[in-house]
């Protein structure tokens, strides 16, 4: 039987074409020169066979990204798995095993038995017993990872892009569970082990599956559509420039925004309880301001449309340096937006505590002001309000509708946050600077990936630089 390492080497050329087509592949837009096998481990079976692999991607830059693959191997690939084809190793078909419930059942079994396979540690959290009769299906909407839902009971997140060291998502879920936080999924198990000959990494996290949930982005944008439709229907009766009041339209999101703000503040408090909070050290605000100025310089070099706002942006960032009084810092979510929250029947739940995707893994553990999360959610609410008008007629009316919706829901979110923590609006200078810095990040992203969306963060920067706290 061909070894796992030789099998991965045999399909390396096929992987150069297959990997860039995957949603979770971070190197899109750059050629893949080679796929280099790092580790390959047989987990189970002969036909079908399950292989766990780590590969390194040569795209002409250092350091090279590494990815986790789960490969199925069969002598005869069934038609229902044809879409998962990767390549051939001799007369064997190699495919993406996440689509094969017969093979993904192995992962649940290994965790339930707390097995170690060639250094790969499959384990459960203390006191957890797993039902291994559950069958899996992959979640289709994810971008950076792959999740498998087992029945209606568990969800296993497989971290695709992997790096050595601690895994923030896993550690923060464990910390929040330790203090009884009700607003995250319960951690149940994990997969950890060698990344190469020297370093270790986390490869998977099993949590309880949240049934009957709604995505925060979907809920918010549905509310915007309701308001926009009502405003356009009544435009003739009201006269131009008088959009419908969001409070009077079906699907008003403000009560949910309030609850969401309260939950975010509660999770911040739980993180502080579990992992600590402290006043920022001397010079922290200078470091924050310096980072904002660096981002501004980088984005200005790429996006000339930002130039009219550059002076006001510098003033807003420099204002941070002169703030007085202690600034608490702690672990925060780090990448909070409406797509990272789910509405269950009992309330809002926060997911994906991996931190800022563009930051180095070690830096994601650096404590920060909780206002960063608040600012990020305010920006996400603004995105929800403004994503529909792009390229449409009646732009002035639509812009007024968007502003009415975002203002109402941003205020509601802050009201909810203030019910469980200090009101973030009382730290207006720092909050505004964090919002502007997040908008700069968005400008760079949209410029490089979705140019038609660039007016959303540019419009926010125009509004925020025209007002002074």
Domain boundaries, the chain: 4-97, 102-208, 214-465
> What percentage of the chain carries pLDDT values higher than 70?
95
Q: What is the mean pLDDT of residues 370-377?
A: 98
pLDDT in tens, 28-47: 889 999 999 999 999 998 89
Three-state SS at 207: strand
| 157-166, 258-267, 353-362: which is most confident | 258-267
**Which structure tokens are listed for 126?**
């203390």
The CATH code belonging to domain 102-208 is 3.30.200
CATH class of 214-465: alpha beta
Rounded to the nearest 5°, which phi and psi values hold at 342?
Answer: -125, 140
Strands 34-45 and 49-58: antiparallel
CA atoms within 13 A on the CB side of 169: 29
Question: Which pLDDT does position 198 carry in this prediction?
Answer: 78
Task: Give the 3-state secondary structure of 138-182.
Answer: ECCCCCCEEEEEECCCEEEEEECEECCCCCHHHHHHHHHHHCCCC
Contacts of 300 (CB under 8 A, 6+ apart): 306, 307, 310
Bridge partner residues of 122 (DSSP): 191
pLDDT in tens, 171-211: 999 999 999 999 999 999 999 999 987 789 999 999 999 99
Query: Is residue 467 very low, low, confident or very high in pLDDT (cuts 50, 70, 90)?
Result: confident
Query: Is residue 394 very low, low, confident or very high in pLDDT (cuts 50, 70, 90)?
Result: low
Is the per-residue pLDDT at 230 higher than 90? no
Alpha helices by DSSP H, 368-394: 371-386
Q: Which of 313, 310, 330, 323 is nearest to 267 (CA)?
A: 330
Contacts of 413 (CB under 8 A, 6+ apart): 257, 258, 260, 261, 264, 374, 377, 378, 381
Query: Is residue 239 very low, low, confident or very high in pLDDT (cuts 50, 70, 90)?
Result: low
Place of tokens 């993180």: 271
Is the per-residue pLDDT at 241 higher than 80? no
For the entire predicted model, the pTM comes to 0.92
Query: In what side-by-side order are the strands of the sheet with 214-215?
Result: 214-215, 341-344, 347-350
pLDDT in tens, 76-125: 999 999 999 999 999 999 999 999 999 999 999 999 999 999 999 999 99
Is the per-residue pLDDT at 19 higher than 70? yes
């Amino acid at each position: 039987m061909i070894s796992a390492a030789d099998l991965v080497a045999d399909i390396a050329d096929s992987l150069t074409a297959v990997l860039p087509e995957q949603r979770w592949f971070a190197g899109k837009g750059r050629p893949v020169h080679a796929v280099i096998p790092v580790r390959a481990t047989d987990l189970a079976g002969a036909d079908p066979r399950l292989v766990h692999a780590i590969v390194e991607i040569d795209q002409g830059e250092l350091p090279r990204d590494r990815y986790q693959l789960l490969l199925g191997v069969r002598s005869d690939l069934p038609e229902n798995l044809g879409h998962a084809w990767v390549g051939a190793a001799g007369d064997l078909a190699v495919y993406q095993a996440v689509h094969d419930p017969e093979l993904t059942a192995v992962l649940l079994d290994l965790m339930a038995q707390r097995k170690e396979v060639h250094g790969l540690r499959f384990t459960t959290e203390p006191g957890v017993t797993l039902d291994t009769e559950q069958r899996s299906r992959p979640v289709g909407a994810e971008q950076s990872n792959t999740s498998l839902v087992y029945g209606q009971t568990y969800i296993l997140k497989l971290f695709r892009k992997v790096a050595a060291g601690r895994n923030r998502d896993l550690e923060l879920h464990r910390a929040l569970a330790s203090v009884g936080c009700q607003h995250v999924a319960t951690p149940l198990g994990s997969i950890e082990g060698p990344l190469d000959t020297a370093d270790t990494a986390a490869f998977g996290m099993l949590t309880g599956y949240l049934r009957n949930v709604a995505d925060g982005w979907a809920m918010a944008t549905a509310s915007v559509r309701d308001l926009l439709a009502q405003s356009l229907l009544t435009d003739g009766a009201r006269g131009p420039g008088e959009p419908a009041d969001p409070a009077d339209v079906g699907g008003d999101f403000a009560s949910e925004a309030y609850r969401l703000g309260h939950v975010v503040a509660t999770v911040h408090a739980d993180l502080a309880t579990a992992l600590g909070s402290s006043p920022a050290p001397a010079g922290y605000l200078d470091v924050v301001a310096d980072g904002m100025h660096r981002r501004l310089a980088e984005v200005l070099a790429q996006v000339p449309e930002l130039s009219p706002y550059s002076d006001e942006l510098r003033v807003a960032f420099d204002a941070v340096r002169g703030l007085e009084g202690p600034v608490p810092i702690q672990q925060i979510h780090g990448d909070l937006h409406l797509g990272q929250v789910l509405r269950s029947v009992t309330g809002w739940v926060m997911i994906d505590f991996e931190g800022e995707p563009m930051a180095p893994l070690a830096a994601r553990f650096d404590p920060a002001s909780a206002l960063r999360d608040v600012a990020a959610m305010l920006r996400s609410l603004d995105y929800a309000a403004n994503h529909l008008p792009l390229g449409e007629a009646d732009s002035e009316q639509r812009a007024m509708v968007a502003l009415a919706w975002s203002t109402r829901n941003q205020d509601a979110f802050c009201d909810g946050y203030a019910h469980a923590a200090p009101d973030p609006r009382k730290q207006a200078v720092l909050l505004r600077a964090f919002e502007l810095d997040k908008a700069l990040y968005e400008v760079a992203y949209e410029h490089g990936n979705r140019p038609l969306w660039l007016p959303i963060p540019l419009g926010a920067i125009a509004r925020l630089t025209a007002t002074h706290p």
